[in-house]
Structure 1
Amino acid sequence: MKLGRRQFLSSTLALAAVSSAPHVLAYSPSQAMPLRRYPDNAWKIEDERFKELYVFNTPLERHWTGGLWLEGPAWNAVGRYAVFSDIPRANQMRWDEATGQVSVLRRHVGHSNGNAFDNQGRLLACEHYPARVLRYEWDGSTTVLASHYQGKPLNAPNDLIVLSSGGIIFTDPGYGAHVDYEGRERELELKPAIYYIDDTLDEPILLTDEIYKPNGIVLTPDGKGFYASDTAPSHFPDQPAAIIRWTLGQDGKSVSDRKEIVTNQKETYDGLACDVEGNIWSSASGGEGVDGVAIFSPEGTLLGRILLPEVCANVCFVGEDRNRLLMTASQSIYTLYTATRGA
């Protein structure tokens, strides 16, 4: 199409007007993130060894907010997404690493808490009410793996791990039974405990009830044991919060060598992850200067912290290289690149 002189001048002036409008095409300072210096203030070094684990030039990223109480992140390496739970809303959520988008994966999921993917890539979830451990099958159906022990209903399964054998170990502290917010208020009929279950069993095997409030759980890097957090102070004020290690029997159906790795009266630990060196990355709460993630050596020495503006409930390593820590923190999810990899 051939433009006349008048049309050409009109078009030129219109383009000039648009290009001079900063809110349309040009960079707008109001849309920029607040300036932050490296290293990010989220990092807090407590031990010189932590300098081998943190990255100097990476920012703490807040990807989404709007939850009520976020928990249970689990990484799916094939799909490059993480599943996490908004427990009060009874929603399973999905964070897509490639796009950064967060969406609802499932609604009305029984106030599910901890999530994991089994050795076949199927999603496992701990539900508070009805109290059960559930598996989502490839055809869209569900299988209830555990709901009762010795004829009594489970308290409110919280978190779980998958063994190389396919067996599952889960914690059952009962938080979803204490108030009508994250489940259904009711009297606990069982002691808080840690259980084993697999497809060959009609009911779980009790591994240990020598723990006040078993909460987060993670395998040791060699798979021969596991750590579990004890959030005892929530209901037993005289007892310290703890991170405890057990050795697994060869078949995964028994435990021994109970050892308290970390105890603390001033802060509480919940969700856990391990890196390839065996360090423990635990969510931590206790007020400003504590809320976020505490990182411990395998022997229990505090190495460092990741400080967040919200209480952190759980963590997991995500990404192609498993070197990015995803944190579910109260109402928001955050990530931070690290100098190590998840085990």
Structure 2
Amino acid sequence: MLHALLLTVLLAASDDVVVLGPLEKIATGFQFTEGPLWTAETGLIFSDIPADTIFRADQSVFRKPSGNSNGLAADREGRLIACEHGNRRVSRTEKDGVIITLADRYLGRRLNSPNDLAIRSDGRIFFTDPPYGVKPDDRELPFCGVYSIAPDGTLTLLSVYFRSPNGLAFSPDEKTLYIGDSADDFIEAFDVSEEGRLGNARFFAHVPTPDGMKVDSRGRLWVTAKDGVRVYNPDGSPAATVAVPEQPSNCAFGDTGGETLYITARTSVYKALCAGSDETKGEKP
């Protein structure tokens, strides 16, 4: 039975922290939810990785099989970009429904299991490739990379620094890319060049098992973590912690003004209204 739950927000000493309304469980009964994405065309969709399915908010099937999809995003043309955990690739769904592979190999070797992604406004796709979806004996790469896919399809390895790179997100001006490492419990910030190269690596925050993340219009980073959804100011100082009944895996802003926070958490999906549509940054497009 779907029901509303009390949302706990632990506020730091800041008047700028967004206030959320009651946390509502909007769907449940799944195996492992991930990759929430809201667009005007699809509404909310999300992955259930073990079920090999992308679901809609009303629990109807959006796509099955999904390649055990994990992170989902929409490009500037509204096409679905998916990290297919099981198929070990990043795919794009064309407007006619045809699914094409954007990346599945680096230097001829199969990727591990693409996990999450962030798309820059120029169309360049950045994604992480940890080993969660591949058996050790089936791995072909000796590292867990962070990559970019250029609009012309060129795949570039950006980093082999992380043991388990997971969630990633851009600052509002797209000059900073945040990347979390779930194995070592931290988030690193990088400068990003116009060509998509990473530089000036610096520690951003210690986070217990950081997973999916999003940035709001004020530059605050919302990170799903072992103990809830943590919110950080642009300088890395903690702003709030949102308690969730199940361990969250990812989050997304949605609805017309981006005023709703959607959270995937193990067997369920939750949502909460923010205190004003100017507080958050909706998904693109």
How many percent of aligned residue pairs carry the same amino acid?
A: 33
Partner of 2:120: 163
Distance 2:127 2:89 in 1: 10
The 1:141/1:33 distance shift into structure 2, 3 A limit, reads: closer
Distance 2:156 2:195 in 1: 12
Distance 1:92 1:249 in 2: 33
What letter matches 1:71 in structure 2?
E
1:320 corresponds to 2:256: yes
Would you identify which runs of 4 or more consecutive aligned residues in structure 1 move more than 4 Å? 31-34
- Aligned counterparts, 1:36-185, within 5 A: 40=6, 42-49=7-14, 52-55=17-20, 58-76=21-39, 78-79=40-41, 81-95=43-57, 101-178=58-135
* 1:88-124 Cα shifts (integer Å, max 9, x gaps): 01101112xxxxx231111112111000000000000
Larger Rg: 1 or 2? 1
Question: More deviation in 139-148 or 299-308?
Answer: 299-308
Distance 1:106 1:323 in 2: 26
Displacement after TM superposition at 1:201 (Å): 3.4
Question: More deviation in 320-329 or 42-51?
Answer: 42-51
TM-score by length of 2: 0.92
* 1:284-340 Cα shifts (integer Å, max 9, x gaps): 11xxxx2x2111111211211111110100001011110211000000000011232
Which of 157, 166, 174 aligns to 1:215? It is: 166
Q: How many residues align?
A: 279
TM-score by length of 1: 0.77
Structure 2: stretches of 5+ with no match in the other structure: none
Partner of 2:223: 282
Structure 1: stretches of 5+ with no match in the other structure: 1-30, 96-100, 180-184, 233-239
Q: In the alignment, is the contact (CA less than 8 A) between 2:69 and 2:82 conserved in 1? A: yes
Which of 255, 265, 278 aligns to 1:329? It is: 265
Distance 1:144 1:337 in 2: 36
Q: In the alignment, is the contact (CA less than 8 A) between 1:145 and 1:198 conserved in 2? A: no
Partner of 1:300: 236
Q: In the alignment, is the contact (CA less than 8 A) between 2:3 and 2:26 conserved in 1? A: no
Distance 2:242 2:30 in 1: 21
Compute the RMSD of aligned alpha carbons: 2.0
Distance 2:87 2:27 in 1: 28
Distance 2:3 2:187 in 1: 37
Displacement after TM superposition at 1:269 (Å): 1.1
Q: In the alignment, is the contact (CA less than 8 A) between 2:23 and 2:272 conserved in 1? A: yes
